[in-house]
């Protein structure tokens, strides 16, 4: 335990922190529907055009219907929105320990989800786990129009939600995101496992009940 200010506000990333994900199920789903080699699908979705499309969708610049049109063009197919949604949202698997940690902390502290995500993914996950009922607020890139690592993003959130930076901790699996939070004065944990994250929280005086 250190002499640092007590933690009162806990900021959680979503993907690969609370909800692990892998793109393999979606690639396999596209391949089955299109009767193509999964590696061909993987290569197509590795193109810069796809990454640009994904960022547009994650920051709310395009609607789900427009996203389907663009994906259909990219994959040379004609998916309807429900079919694409099922494949697109097949990538997630709950981390029960991390979700329990979130619920336990939410009983005594302010908790927030901060995620670079899109409307389809969020709608699927929130309907499954009722995430917005657990936390004080879900801060989602498709709603606020910017990504976590963008310059000044965390300073804007500090002002908007009246966070005290030295009393906050941000848990994320990507270093570019933890660095952005640290630059705003927020303590960070680069998430690698439940055990490592709980150990760091314990060192900062947070008792974790199982």
Residue 113 CB-density burial (10 A; 0-12 exposed, 13-18 middle, 19+ buried): buried
Give pLDDT tens digits for 132-156. 999 999 999 999 999 999 999 999 9
Q: Helix, strand, coil shares of the chain as percentages rounded to 5? A: 50, 15, 35
pLDDT at 10 over 50: yes
Whether the predicted pLDDT of 210 surpasses 90: no
Domain edges within the chain? 9-21+94-203, 24-88
Element (H, E) at 182: helix 175-183
Handedness of CA 25, 30, 35, 39 (dihedral sign): negative
pLDDT at 207: 86
Q: What is the tens place of the pLDDT at every residue in 61-103?
A: 999 999 999 999 999 999 999 999 999 999 999 999 999 999 9
Question: How is domain 9-21+94-203 classified at the CATH fold level?
Answer: Rossmann fold (3.40.50)
Q: pTM score, two decimals?
A: 0.95
């Amino acid at each position: 335990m250190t002499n640092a200010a007590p933690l009162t506000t806990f900021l959680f990333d979503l993907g690969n922190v609370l909800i692990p994900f892998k793109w393999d199920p979606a690639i396999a789903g596209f391949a089955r529907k299109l009767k193509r080699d999964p590696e061909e699908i993987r290569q197509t979705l590795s193109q810069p055009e796809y990454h640009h499309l994904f960022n547009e969708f994650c920051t709310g610049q395009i609607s789900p219907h427009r996203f389907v049109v663009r994906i259909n063009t990219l994959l040379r197919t004609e998916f309807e929105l429900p079919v694409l949604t099922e494949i697109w949202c097949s990538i997630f698997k709950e981390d029960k320990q991390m979700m329990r940690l979130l619920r336990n902390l939410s009983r005594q502290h302010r908790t927030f989800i901060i995620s670079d995500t899109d409307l389809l993914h969020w709608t699927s996950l929130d309907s499954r786990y009722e995430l917005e009922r657990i936390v004080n607020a879900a801060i989602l890139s498709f709603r606020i129009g910017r990504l976590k690592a963008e310059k000044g993003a965390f300073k804007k959130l500090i002002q908007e939600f009246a966070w005290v930076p030295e009393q906050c901790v941000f848990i994320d699996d990507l270093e570019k995101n933890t660095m952005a939070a640290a630059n705003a004065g927020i303590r960070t944990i680069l998430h690698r496992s439940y055990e490592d994250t709980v150990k760091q929280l314990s060192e900062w005086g947070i008792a974790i009940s199982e």
